């Protein structure tokens, strides 16, 4: 089976609570196109980067209670994006499963390592000396990735190896994670049908 014979991997997920209404449309094997509007400008920018550097086609809409703060909006978008990723990955046949990437951004070097194992674990080693970057609370950065890892059902380890600028740290983390995901999710006929001795990645 050649790469062109694999079926498209897409997902559309809608999530509605008393706090937010979220829609995510995702194509895993895309061209890096994006159309994102969460109401949190810096978060939109990070999701744009995530799509561009992960080779995803991504559309996100969120109507959230931003009069409270950014927490519910950012968390619920991350949950819904994780659900879309999990759905699009399907049975994970012929994927690489593991991926890692290093991304520099000026003073910062970030690393992301991912295992699309079907099991959830997240660790972020990073600190921020500002409470916000733009309109995004920096305390939400770890929450984004924890929520995404939980709902994608993956292991995700992220590290800011060095650097000072908070904007650069967050951006490098989004870019590195996008590239690691792209590597892990890549399908090839040369890969085992299921990259596990258990016979399943669920």
Q: What is the pLDDT of residues 68-122, one digit of tens each?
A: 999 999 999 999 999 999 999 999 989 999 999 999 999 999 999 999 999 999 9
Q: In degrees rounded to 5, what are phi and psi of residue 94?
A: 65, 20
Res. 198 pLDDT band, cuts 50 70 90: low
Question: What 8-state DSSP symbol labels residue 165?
Answer: -
Looking at residue 1, its pLDDT comes to 44
pTM over 0.75: yes
Q: Give domain 3-185's CATH architecture.
A: 2-Layer Sandwich (3.30)
Which pLDDT tens digit goes with each residue over 143-172? 999 999 999 999 999 999 999 999 999 999
Looking at residue 190, its pLDDT comes to 77
Which pLDDT tens digit goes with each residue over 4-42? 578 999 999 999 999 999 999 999 999 999 999 999 999
Q: Which long-range contacts (CB under 8 A, 24 or more apart) does 142-149 make?
A: 143/71, 143/74, 143/75, 143/78, 144/74, 144/75, 144/78, 145/78, 145/173, 145/177, 146/122, 147/75, 147/78, 147/79, 147/82, 148/78, 148/79, 148/81, 148/82, 148/85, 149/82, 149/120, 149/121, 149/122
Residue whose token pair is 């993956």: 154
């Amino acid at each position: 089976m050649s790469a062109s014979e694999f079926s498209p991997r897409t997902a559309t997920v809608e999530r509605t609570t008393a706090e937010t209404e979220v829609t995510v449309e995702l194509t895993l094997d895309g061209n890096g196109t994006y159309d994102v509007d969460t109401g949190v400008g810096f978060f939109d920018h990070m999701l744009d980067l995530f799509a561009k550097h992960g080779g995803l086609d991504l559309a996100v809409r969120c109507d959230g209670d931003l009069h409270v703060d950014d927490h519910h909006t950012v968390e619920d978008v991350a949950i819904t994006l994780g659900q879309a990723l999990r759905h699009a990955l399907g049975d994970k046949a012929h994927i690489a499963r593991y991926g890692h990437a290093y991304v520099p951004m000026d003073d910062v070097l970030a690393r992301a390592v991912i295992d699309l194992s079907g099991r959830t674990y997240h660790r972020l080693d990073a600190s921020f000396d500002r409470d916000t970057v733009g309109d995004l609370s920096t305390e939400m950065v770890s929450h984004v990735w924890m929520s995404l890892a939980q709902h994608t059902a993956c292991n995700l380890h992220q590290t800011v190896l060095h650097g000072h600028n908070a904007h650069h740290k967050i951006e490098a983390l989004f870019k590195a994670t996008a590239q690691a995901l792209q590597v892990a999710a890549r399908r090839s006929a040369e890969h085992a049908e299921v990259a596990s001795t258990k016979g399943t990645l669920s």
